[in-house]
Amino acid sequence: MDATIIDGSAVSTRLRSRLERELATVRRSGGAPGLASFVVGDDYAAHAYERRLRKLADSVGCRFQAEQLPADIEPADALATIGKLNADPRVTGILVLRPLPPQLSEVQLYATLDPLKDVEAVHPVNAGLLARGTPRFVPSTPASCFWLLDDYFRRVERDPLTGLRGATVVVVGRSHNVGRPAVWLALDRGAVVIDCDEHASAAGRLGEFTRQADVLIVAAGVPGLVTGDMVGDGVIAIDVGINAVPDLATGGVRLVGDLDFDSVATRAEALTPVPGGVGPVTDVWLVRNAVLGAVLQQTDLAIGPWPGP
Ligand code: NAD
């Protein structure tokens, strides 16, 4: 089978044009979007992500600020920093980046966020709204998975609104920011949903479930976890994983996903590459959510959580 490679960079370029138009509309109605990142310690990937977001925000004219805190920060000081961002009218979206050091509770930090600035929908109220199908914010990574799927469906002349009804969507991974919200978004579209985490793998059952997928979303953070023998013919596979592995050719590192791309491509109808798949769309979506945050500060809503086609 000749699999279609879903080009996330091209989709992201189109989403970025839409973001620029939306930003102009929001500005005209008096909104002033600003994204703030919250990073603790010196994790390389978190800092690289923050730099990438700053570059994107700068290039579209969205204010960006980074709160960089030392790895040994006291929990009270970390919570106070969130409080400061909540109170700052220039900040309309707050992104808490992981990993967090052991003295900080992810759940407590999330619960401290102003729900109107919680662009990744990790505050219990926003997670609840998302889970019941009435999201305030659609978190950037799972949103990107479904935005890419919608785009692909349109290209093959399938209706994105109905394309997943009765289909089996298998999600591998169950984190608060990716796996769980991906499950909720799939449920909203009328899919039959199976979610697997590391225990399914430990039980030796992962392939049993992934082989059932019409659409497979993999977000485990394990390089090459899903191989060609673990998928059915004609699967549409979305690879969220970003893993740095040694590059034997250069002696450096290279990024790979959670799919074993070459073997899955022999069976798939379509799949996303890493890099160049989910990642570029996620970045734009996150900045868009900060723009939506600016809208939520106003009463007159100029844009909504899920844009039209
Ligand atoms: P996480 O570590 O918070 O969660 C991983 C989940 O995968 C957990 O539920 C865990 O139980 C499950 N898991 C781990 N090993 C497994 C296995 N062997 N079999 C089945 N399930 C397993 O990670 P996360 O934040 O959800 O991110 C997942 C991956 O996605 C990482 O590689 C991360 O870098 C990447 N990511 C990419 C983007 C993007 O824009 N492309 C955004 C966020 C995260």
Domain map (residue ranges) of the chain:
30-125+281-297, 140-278
Q: Closest Cα to atom 3, ligand 1: which residue?
A: 175
- Among protein residues, the one whose CA lies closest to atom 31 of ligand 1: 221
Cα distance between residue 193 and residue 170, in whole Å: 6
CATH topology of domain 140-278: Rossmann fold (3.40.50)
Q: What is the mean pLDDT of each run of 10 residues along the chain (309 residues)?
A: 94 97 93 97 92 96 97 98 97 97 97 97 96 96 98 97 97 96 98 98 98 98 98 98 94 95 98 97 97 84 70
Fold of 30-125+281-297: Rossmann fold (3.40.50)
Q: What pLDDT is attached to residue 115? A: 95
pLDDT for res 302: 58
**pTM of the predicted model as reported, rounded to 2 decimal places:** 0.95
Domains 30-125+281-297 and 140-278 alike in fold = yes
CA distance to 2, 152, 250, per residue, from 262 (Å) = 11, 20, 20
- What residue ranges line ligand 1, CB within 6 angstroms? 141, 172-175, 177-179, 196-198, 200-201, 206, 219-222, 225, 240-243, 278-279, 282
8 A C-beta contact, residue 230 and residue 266: no
For a ligand 1 pocket test, name from 12, 197, 201, 206 the mutation site with the most ligand atoms within 8 angstroms of its C-beta: 197
184/27 Cα distance (integer angstroms): 32
pLDDT of residue 299: 60
